[in-house]
Chain A
Amino acid sequence: MAQTLYDKLWSGHVVHTEDDGTTLLYIDRHLVHEVTSPQAYEGLRLAGRKPWRTGSIVATADHNVPTDGSDLAVADPTSRAQVETLDDNIRTYGALAYFPYRDKRQGIVHVIGPENGVTLPGMTVVCGDSHTSTHGAFACLAQGIGTSEVEHVLATQCLLQKKSKSMLVRVEGELGRGVSAKDIALYVIGQIGTAGGTGYAIEFGGSAIRALSMEGRMTLCNMAIEAGARAGMVAVDQTTIDYLRGRPFAPRDEQWDRAVEYWRTLKSDESAQHDRVVDIDARRITPQVTWGTSPEMVTDICGQVPAPEDFADPVQREGVARALQYMGLTPRTPIDQIRIDKVFIGSCTNSRIEDLRAAAKVVQGRQIADNVKLAMVVPGSGLVRAQAEAEGLDKVFKAAGFEWREPGCSMCLGMNADRLEPGERCASTSNRNFEGRQGAGGRTHLVSPQMAAAAAIAGRFADVRDVV
Chain B
Amino acid sequence: MNPFTTLDGLVAPLDRANVDTDAIIPKQYLKSIKRSGFGPTLFDEWRYLDVGQPGQDHSKRPLNPDFVLNQPRFQGASILLVRENFGCGSSREHAPWAIEDFGFRAILGTTFADIFFNNCFKNGLLPIRLPQAELEQLFLQCAGTPGYRLRIDLESQTVIRPDGHVIRFDVEAFRKYCLLNGFDDIGLTLRQADKIREFEARRRIEQPWLFA
Hey, which bits of chain A sit against chain B, CB under 8 A?
15-16, 18-22, 24, 26, 28, 35-36, 38-39, 42, 47, 49, 52-53, 55, 63-64, 76, 78-79, 81-82, 85, 120, 122-123, 128-130, 144-149, 151-152, 155-158, 160, 162, 164, 194-195, 198-199, 225, 228-230, 249-251, 255-256, 258-259, 262, 294, 315-316, 318-319, 322, 413-415, 422, 432, 434-437, 440-441
Contacts and interface: CB of A to CB of B under 8 A. Distances in A.
B27 interface: yes
Nearest to B174: A22
Interface residues of B, number: 61
Given A255-B208, A415-B31, A160 B89 contact: no
B186 A15 contact: no
A437 B22 contact: yes
B28 interface: yes
Nearest to A196: B85
29 contacts: A15-B192, A20-B172, A26-B203, A28-B203, A28-B210, A36-B91, A52-B196, A78-B55, A129-B91, A130-B89, A130-B115, A144-B91, A146-B91, A152-B186, A157-B196, A158-B192, A160-B174, A194-B18, A195-B88, A229-B114, A258-B209, A315-B16, A315-B84, A319-B18, A413-B22, A413-B90, A415-B30, A435-B23, A440-B26
Given A26-B200, A255-B209, 7 more contacts: A24-B189, A28-B210, A144-B115, A146-B115, A147-B35, A195-B85, A251-B212
A152 to B, nearest CB: 5
A145 B15 CA distance: 27
Contacts of A230: 114-115
Contact of A155 (B88, B123, B190): B190
Nearest to B46: A435
Which 10 A-B pairs have CB atoms at the shortest separation, nearest pair first? A251-B209, A148-B122, A146-B119, A38-B33, A146-B93, A20-B173, A78-B31, A22-B174, A195-B85, A130-B91
Nearest to A14: B199
Main secondary structure of the interface of A (DSSP, over half): loop
Given A24-B196, A81-B33, A198 B111 contact: yes
A258 B28 CA distance: 46
Contact of B211 (A55, A122, A145, A316): A55
Contacts of B35: 39, 42, 147
B145 interface: no
Contact of A199 (B30, B31, B114): B114
A250 B210 CA distance: 9
Interface string B81-118: 00111001111110010000000000000011111001
Most chain A CB within a 10 A radius of its CB, from B51, B118, B192 = B118
A257 to B, nearest CB: 11
Nearest to B196: A15
Contact of B31 (A64, A120, A123, A259): A64
Given A18-B174, A146-B119, A228 B196 contact: no
Contacts of A128: 91, 93
A415 B27 contact: yes
